[in-house]
Chains A and B, each alone.
Chain A
């Protein structure tokens, strides 16, 4: 029922195109209808959608299972994950869309420093082209030409990767200068924190073992016996807080956000 018989024939392809087009028109056509609802009705629909999607995963988890470790919803997990992947991808692409939209506007309206926006857009378009064709070529869907291979290597391995690595290595410099200029032992708390940090910093590196064979053991004891229960207490706090927030969001109780 959910599958047409001969998808790879010309007729099959035509039917599928019609369905996709029809679906698009239908879903978009719903927007004005939804918009005609009063604010209360709109909120009700959002609340219902949130509740039902949550309910699906909740029931699948809570219901008893059979010998194959399944209940009646377990087989629906696979299509559900497919849907979530696609929707999440669209959500991720939304950030990219917003970025491009902003800088396109900067360029068109020639706002201050629009030259940098142009740089951004040009590198975006180039990289997008190479990235998509490269990924397609790996799957054998387009031909892998030397130009494509070299271009992608240059843009990815020798530009993007380098810029990314360089950008985040800056923080090391900042930490060093902050350590010198701002890290003050002004209280018992800061003292305990700094002391632990220093023992860990020296104890875990080979230098510590060279200084004294006991240092690594001390550092490890701090990490496993004193640090672990602290982290577990934090975990419990986060877990309980997370459960409370999951319930608040699932039942749409949270104000000011949704």
Chain B
């Protein structure tokens, strides 16, 4: 019996996965270094997000719920940075809260680093409420009695003594809630936040598709989808941030994946046909 080496299709199907890994790595390095900048078509949810923040008046209070840890840093950090920068342009005051332990420190450090840019001072213009274990009851508590529910900020100051929360007794006095998150926290805000506040959403891309039903019903007023959405937002703000730096590599990693889904199907198809021909 004549033995034959594996056909090209067979060899393609049994390619070592490590070669694929290297290919992806090289693709990303290449397109990260690529100096061209493509302009995005700003998607409607991002535009709505931008417009909502544009409507804020100086001194308006915004709650940022930051629930991401380092694992989704590449998606959520560009979002949070862009949002804080925009809030500072509008001179809106903000407070942060985290239901994710790591995010307590990550978001506190990030805000501490960014706020001097806008001349923001802790306590006067922004504050961090720290970590809570159960967001639902925290929201319910804040609606009914905010100072008693939060008690103290991360620096140990009773929140009723913070200048920016002077006269604030309830979450109802906030204008807006912005949820920056990789997990299912936005339903908590949708379900338990007071009706006086608008909800804006910065999910990782994984969760964006599911949120379109909330955008349709108006339960969410705007959405920034992952790092890609952050790039669109940076374009609207006219700044170059992480999103803008990442977006070429995102585009072309998609091209690579689509190409390989096609190749994989082709190789399988050709291989089957060959085997059938050979009986």
Q: 8 Å CB contacts to A: which residues of B141-186?
A: 141, 144-145, 148-149, 152, 154-156
Assess A198 versus B258: contact at CB under 8 Å? Given A165-B73, A184-B265. yes
**Which of B44, B73, B156 contacts A141, CB < 8 Å?**
B156
> Is A245 engaged at the interface, CB distance under 8 Å to the other chain?
no
Cα of A200 to Cα of B138 in the assembled complex, Å: 36
B270 to chain A, nearest CB (A): 13
Assess A78 versus B258: contact at CB under 8 Å? Given A84-B137, A164-B69, A209-B41. no
Contact with A along B55-85 (1 / 0, CB 8 A): 0000000000000011111100000000000
A54 to chain B, nearest CB (A): 13
Q: Which residues of B contact A231 (CB under 8 A)?
A: 209-213
Contact with B along A67-82 (1 / 0, CB 8 A): 0001000110110111
> Is B29 engaged at the interface, CB distance under 8 Å to the other chain?
no
> Is A138 engaged at the interface, CB distance under 8 Å to the other chain?
yes
A226 to chain B, nearest CB (A): 10
Q: Which one, A17-25, A42-50, A110-118, A172-180, is touching chain B?
A: A172-180
Known contacts A206-B38, A228-B212; can you find 11 more A-B pairs with CB under 8 A?
Answer: A77-B144, A138-B156, A161-B70, A169-B74, A173-B24, A181-B17, A206-B40, A208-B251, A224-B215, A231-B209, A231-B210
Q: Is the CB of B41 within 8 A of A216?
A: yes
**Which of B133, B156, B263, B264 contacts A89, CB < 8 Å?**
B133
Q: 8 Å CB contacts to A: which residues of B6-59?
A: 13, 15, 17, 20-21, 23-24, 38-41, 43-44
Cα of A78 to Cα of B38 in the assembled complex, Å: 50
Q: Is the CB of A81 within 8 A of B247?
A: no
Interface of B is mostly: helix
**Which of A89, A141, A165, A232 contacts B74, CB < 8 Å?**
A165
Q: Is the CB of A205 within 8 A of B149?
A: no
In the A-B complex, the 3 residue pairs with the smallest Cβ-Cβ separation, listed nearest first, are A139-B156, A81-B137, A207-B251
> Is B236 engaged at the interface, CB distance under 8 Å to the other chain?
no
Q: Is the CB of B73 within 8 A of A81?
A: no
Q: Which residues of A contact B263 (CB under 8 A)?
A: 180
Q: Is the CB of B148 within 8 A of A78?
A: yes
Q: How many residues of A contact B (CB 8 A)?
A: 64
Q: Which residues of A contact B15 (CB under 8 A)?
A: 180
Cα of A235 to Cα of B214 in the assembled complex, Å: 10
Assess A220 versus B156: contact at CB under 8 Å? Given A81-B149, A184-B264. no
Q: Is the CB of B73 within 8 A of A161?
A: yes
Q: Which residues of A contact B250 (CB under 8 A)?
A: 205
Q: B residues touching A (Cβ–Cβ < 8 Å)? A: 13, 15, 17, 20-21, 23-24, 38-41, 43-44, 69-74, 102, 105-106, 109, 132-134, 137-138, 140-141, 144-145, 148-149, 152, 154-156, 209-213, 215-217, 225, 228, 231, 247-248, 250-258, 260-261, 263-265, 268
Cα of A70 to Cα of B140 in the assembled complex, Å: 12
Q: Is the CB of A209 within 8 A of B21?
A: no
B69 to chain A, nearest CB (A): 6
Q: Is the CB of B268 within 8 A of A184?
A: yes
Cα of A197 to Cα of B254 in the assembled complex, Å: 10
Assess A206 versus B264: contact at CB under 8 Å? Given A85-B133, A138-B156, A162-B70. no
Closest to A209 in B: B41
Q: Is the CB of A139 within 8 A of B141?
A: no
Q: Which residues of B contact A74 (CB under 8 A)?
A: 144
Closest to A204 in B: B228
Pairs A–B under 8 Å by Cβ, sample size 28:
A74-B144, A78-B144, A81-B149, A82-B141, A84-B134, A85-B133, A85-B134, A138-B156, A164-B102, A165-B73, A168-B72, A172-B24, A175-B257, A176-B23, A177-B21, A179-B261, A180-B15, A180-B20, A181-B264, A182-B264, A204-B43, A205-B228, A206-B247, A210-B38, A216-B43, A220-B43, A223-B209, A223-B212
